[in-house]
Structure 1
Amino acid sequence: MIYTVTLNPSLDYNIKLSEFKEGRLNTIVSQYKTAGGKGINVSQVLRNLEKDSIALGYIGGFTGKYIEKNLKEKNIKCDFIEINQDSRINVKIKSEKSETEINDKKLKISESEKKELFLKIKSLKKDDILVLAGSVPTSLEEDIYAKLSEIVDEKVKIVVDTTGKYLVNSLKYNPFLIKPNYFELENIFGVKLKDEKDVIVYGKKLLEMGAKNVIVSMAGDGALLINEKDILKAMVPKGTVKNSVGAGDSLIGGFLSAMEEDKELIECFRIGVASGTATAFSDELCKKEEIEKIKKDIIIKKL
């Protein structure tokens, strides 16, 4: 089973405008509400690809109830811990020229609530997959993902998709897959990447620090998969980017869906990149038919 952990779920209010006018009245062209957060997005993409997962994390208040109801309506299994706070509302404003995000403050998690999550994670079995994704409440320690990684069976595959110190601290537990983007890689090492060669150099440093597979997403320039055996580059087709939110999460969801079918690593990478690209070209998270359509245009070469 695949378990996704979202420590900071949100109710995402997605607004589409013809044009965003700062300081003036804006009229909505269309809108929709959905459960959000990186791990939750992975679960949603897995469901779109007809794969099961269980969404873990913290929810609370009327927004938390909406998040759980929204996921269950999509046949996504949930095992959230309910807390005495309202889950966040994040506003995503999209116009023809720009995307603007307004994110709510993070939850405060108590020691007893933290221990409850640890008990759930500790119950994972051999060959399960644990996805640790997204931001961390400031009330939790900087090595929370590392501690969650430490308590699972060594045969559980761990996927970590977060930033900075939260990612770096988890590397000593040898995550199966991590997915920094180009800018996150720069921030981790405090460097300015000049070209693809630099991306490979610093991607390999993440292998040396403990990761088994590193995918670096590079937006329109595709993605690199780096491990001890291979360096693969996926080139993506040109298209109109409508939605950058959730593209990286979709890559992970697509990759894991292919893993569930025991596909070769190169094919997992292809389907993952196709999923991320399909989301970028869509108004919402990718659908199976969109992924299938784009998959044939994903060119992968060994470097």
Structure 2
Amino acid sequence: MIYTVTFNPSLDYVVHMETFLSGDINRADREMIYPGGKGINVALVLGNLHIPAKILGFTAGFTGREIERLAKKNGGDCDFITLEEGYSRINMKISADEETAVNGIGPDISEEKLQALLRQIEQIKDGDVLVLAGSIPADIPNDIYEQILRRIQGRNIRTVVDATGDLLKNVIKYRPFLIKPNNFELGELFSVDLHTDEEILVCAKRLQSMGARNILVSLGDDGALLLGEDEKIYRMQAPRGNLVNSVGAGDSMVAGFLAGFEASQGDLQEALKMGISAGSASAFQEWLASEADIQEIYKKIPK
């Protein structure tokens, strides 16, 4: 079983309009509402690929109930912890001549509820996979990812961390199975600008020497580079297509990688190919890609 954790899920309210005028009344041409959060996205794409995944995290209020309803409607297996006070956040994205986003704050998470989540994680069995994805709320200890990996250290649980900055850097010593920075996030970890594959590899190798097993660096429409724990370098281009929505593409890449790794019994080349297929397919859609969308892209990528 794969478990994903989303500390601060959201209702994503997406509106499309031809132009957006600040300080004026704007009317949407069309609108959509989705359950949001990196861990939720990973789990839903895994579900689309027939890989069981359970969604952990926190919800609150009527917005939290709607997040859970929509996640379940789209095939999600939810085991959220309900907070008695506050509301899960609403993130608004305005897609016009430019893209504008306003992200909500989210509810406070008490120490009691946080401990309840940690107990859930302790029940994960050997052979399972744990995905920690995204930022954390301000009232959560900034070492929470470290706390989680420390609790399961030494067990046969593959861990995936998709985060940025110190949240990522400080967990490398716990030897996560997979990390997925993009090239900008990777450069920020070492305060450098990365422009070439060679420069990216230098930083990826530093992270591997610090403990990370597989480093998957997403490169947008230029595909991805994977430094595998087998010490091989894998490089694959992304197929061309019309970018519709980049939100969720990276999460879809993580889901595709895990699905490809499982289906191929550990073939990193196949995992990368499925990761790029899923990430690209979601980028070309309004929301997360279906299995048919992913398979269509997969067939276009050379072996």
TM superposition score normalised by structure 2: 0.95
**Does residue 1:220 correspond to 2:221, yes or no?**
yes
Q: Which runs of 4+ in 1 moved over 4 A?
A: none
Map of 1:92 onto structure 2:
93
Contact in 2 for aligned 1:204/1:227 (Cα 8 Å): no
Contact in 1 for aligned 2:228/2:268 (Cα 8 Å): no
Matches within 5 A, 1:31-180: 31-83=31-83, 84-95=85-96, 97-152=97-152, 154-180=155-181
User: Percent identity, aligned pairs only?
Assistant: 43
Cα offset, 1:299, TM superposition:
4.2
Cα offset, 1:20, TM superposition:
2.6
Deviations 1:144-184 (A, max 9, x none): 11111121252100000011011111111100000001111
Map of 1:198 onto structure 2:
199
Contact in 2 for aligned 1:177/1:215 (Cα 8 Å): yes
SS at match of 1:136: coil
* 1-structure distance, mates of 2:104, 2:112: 24
* 2-structure distance, mates of 1:271, 1:227: 15
Map of 1:237 onto structure 2:
239
The gaps in structure 2 that reach 5 residues or longer are none
* 1-structure distance, mates of 2:20, 2:48: 31
Q: Which residue identity does 1:118 align to in structure 2?
A: L
Deviations 1:50-91 (A, max 9, x none): 222110011000000001111122231111111122001001
* 1-structure distance, mates of 2:108, 2:225: 36
Map of 2:292 onto structure 1:
289
The gaps in structure 1 that reach 5 residues or longer are none
> Size of the alignment, in residue pairs?
299
SS at match of 2:44: helix
* 1-structure distance, mates of 2:100, 2:241: 20
Map of 1:258 onto structure 2:
260
Q: Which residue identity does 1:291 align to in structure 2?
A: I
Root-mean-square deviation over aligned CA pairs: 1.4
Cα offset, 1:47, TM superposition:
1.5
The correspondence for 1:271, drawn from 269, 274, 282, is: 274
Q: Which residue identity does 1:197 align to in structure 2?
A: E
* 1-structure distance, mates of 2:139, 2:30: 36
**Does residue 1:246 correspond to 2:248, yes or no?**
yes
The change in CA–CA distance for 1:66 and 1:86 in structure 2 (over 3 A counts) is same
Map of 1:7 onto structure 2:
7
* 2-structure distance, mates of 1:67, 1:34: 8
SS at match of 2:272: helix
Q: Which residue identity does 2:164 align to in structure 1?
A: T
SS at match of 2:276: helix
